[in-house]
Chain A
Amino acid sequence: NFMLTQPHSVSESPGKTVTLSCTRNGGSIASNYVQWYQLRPGSSPVTVIYEDNQRPSGVPDRFSGSIDSSSNSASLTISGLKTEDEADYYCQSYDNNNQVFGGGTRLTVL
């Protein structure tokens, strides 16, 4: 098994750019794709990035994803922050037997 570690919270101002990290402990970040989900209170999760860096249709191009093998981590970058981006963000990956979610990062836009 492996774990995905995310910072508990991040704050940034509207219009700025923020990068959320997700570090894999156990195995290579590149061994399986990473997904990112946005979860607002009272709503269902929304997939904002799949397969490390692919954006689903309907997700603004302000959202981008990447992985870095040197730090064994994935990143979600949101540019031109809007107040509507305020939410919890979860990274997710898998191996042969498990799906694993990170603990989530609460993004505050103020």
Chain B
Amino acid sequence: EVQLLESGGGLAQPGGSLRLSCAASGFNFWSYGLHWVRQAPGRGLEYVASISTIEDTTYYGDSVKGRFTISRDDSKNTVYLQMGSLRAEDMGVYYCAREREPYVRGGPFHWGRGTLVTVSA
């Protein structure tokens, strides 16, 4: 069974940093693309970042480009989201998600439960 477990959420100050982790199990982690997607309070789903299996190519949503970094550690079956220069609008639930098939870039298919990020002074 595919399992994705996010952690690392919490309270951060404006301008501060936070690192989210997503520990995966139940599949060959190294062969799947992974995504971070967020939902701000009262808002819709918003694409944050992706990392592929092809030379760990990364992609970012426009609102986080230059501030967030996605990475993966295949030895730990974990994908990370390093968040910097945090703003109030970065608050929300952050979901980790996996592609449906290995080595294919499509969209999120399996989803984690999410971790809540709060940005406040």
Contact = CB atoms under 8 A, between A and B. Distances in A.
A104 interface: yes
B47 A35 contact: no
Contacts of B97: 45
Given A99-B50, A103-B44, A104-B45, A45 B106 contact: no
Interface stretch (B10-18, B20-28, B78-86, B109-117): B109-117
Contact of A51 (B39, B46, B106, B112): B106
A100 B114 CA distance: 19
Interface in A45-61: 45-47, 50-51, 56
B105 interface: yes
Interface stretch (A13-21, A23-31, A70-78, A90-98): A90-98
Given A92-B108, A101-B45, 18 more contacts: A35-B106, A35-B107, A35-B108, A37-B45, A39-B45, A45-B111, A47-B100, A47-B109, A47-B110, A50-B107, A56-B109, A94-B106, A99-B37, A99-B50, A99-B61, A99-B107, A103-B44, A104-B44
Contact of B114 (A44, A47, A92): A44
B29 interface: no
Interface residues of A, number: 25
B44 A47 contact: no
Contacts of B44: 88, 90, 101-104
B68 interface: no
Nearest to A93: B107
Contacts of B114: 44
Interface in B36-63: 37, 39, 44-47, 50, 59, 61-62
